[in-house]
Chains A and B, each alone.
Chain A
């Protein structure tokens, strides 16, 4: 049992286990009744894929594959963000994300007077 075969066995075993976990998660993502379950499945599968890309970069002794992993992490983050903006409507009665966040953390991005202020006043 040389060092090379030991490393190779370890890495391939890790990749196999991660692949099995990804397959298991797909089952639940099909069953799960809520939309949140499915987006969560995509997120977790993405994390496991990042782990397996990192293991692969060590297995093949190529250092640049970690860049791919970083891009994948960013893509999964952006996807959850944009899906959230599709599914969360902003209720003007209680603020977009909690009443306090709307009143106190005004970032001055939407001016109170102007088109949006007029729209808000028109609604009330």
Chain B
């Protein structure tokens, strides 16, 4: 019988030679295959040469791994440093490196209408980045839910259920008299303050992210001082999902116009208002509200998931 390679060289090549004949007997069942594999593994494990081979493989892998890790890190760092060396020195005036920032500083107020240049930048000039950031926060919440959530599908037994309830009661702070009275007074104040920071994004430092964080912290204080049952009355999974969806959808649709007007130089008719008033800056205020709401839901969602493994009521 000639070799396959020989047949190829001589020109007697037949494609159908590569496909084996169909088997006459059916395949083995899964349990039988598992048994055969287990038997083979047992035979390999009992062989005295196996341990030496495994040890040699492990050592050689470690040596090669360290070497390759060091070399790749050095190469990567070298390439990056070489690229960075073309930048101007720290603090030096350089026309071609600073033209974007000069444009933002000089024309920021008249083009965006916001007194706070940073808010004008992240929500008007570079609103697409902020859209991505909000989506990243939402994705983080979804992933934490995938990893940590306990519902009917995840719970294995009654014992786990007991420990969940016991840990929730074990580590609570809600029964304290001092904390509950302080929390009754503090939580509305902090919530209103968070709303103030949120709505003043275009006038003073603040904006969507910090205002949302303050509102999330107010919810955390509320949950810690009055117990989770009170928060579950208004913050359920359905509310959180719909609110984040609505906020992100509104952001995406509201800022979609720039893809048509910005590149083609068409003037958009969104009013900028007088700088210094609260209703100024075009679309900065609604987008601030959307981002703040997403951040607040995410922060409280994280706290609730890490404490009890669910957002909102248990629904049992």
A contact residues vs B (CB 8 Å cutoff): 64, 67-68, 70-71, 74-75, 77-78, 81-82, 84-86, 88-90, 92, 95-97, 101-102, 105, 107, 109-110, 115-116, 119, 122
Asked whether A90 lies within 8 Å of B162 as measured between CB atoms, the reply is no
Least CB distance from B316 to A in Å reads 8
Q: Which residues of B contact A68 (CB under 8 A)?
A: 205
- For the complex, what is the distance from the CA of A2 to the CA of B180, rounded to whole Å? 51
**Majority SS of interface residues in chain B?**
helix
- Taking a contact as CB atoms under 8 Å apart, the answer to whether A78 and B166 are in contact is no
Selected from A78, A96, A122, the residue in CB contact (under 8 A) with B221 is A78
On chain B, the residues within 8 Å of A77 by CB distance are 221
> Across the two chains, which residue of chain A brings its CB closest to B229?
A109
Q: How many interface residues does chain B have, given as a range?
A: 20 to 34
Given contacts A67-B205, A71-B214, A78-B220, contact A101 B175 (CB under 8 A): yes
CA–CA, A77 to B224, complex, Å?
12
B interface residues, Cβ below 8 angstroms from A: 161-162, 165-166, 169-177, 179-180, 190, 193, 197, 204-206, 210, 214, 217, 220-221, 224, 226-230, 316
- With the chains together, A77 CA to B221 CA distance in Å? 9
Residues of B within 8 A of A109 (CB): 174, 226-230
- Pairwise interchain contact A81-B179, C-beta atoms closer than 8 A: yes
CA distance A118 to B204 in the complex (A): 53
| Pairs across A and B, CB under 8 Å, 24 listed | A64-B204, A64-B205, A67-B204, A71-B210, A71-B214, A81-B224, A85-B172, A89-B170, A96-B172, A96-B175, A96-B176, A97-B176, A101-B175, A105-B175, A105-B177, A107-B226, A107-B227, A109-B227, A109-B228, A110-B227, A110-B229, A115-B165, A119-B169, A122-B162
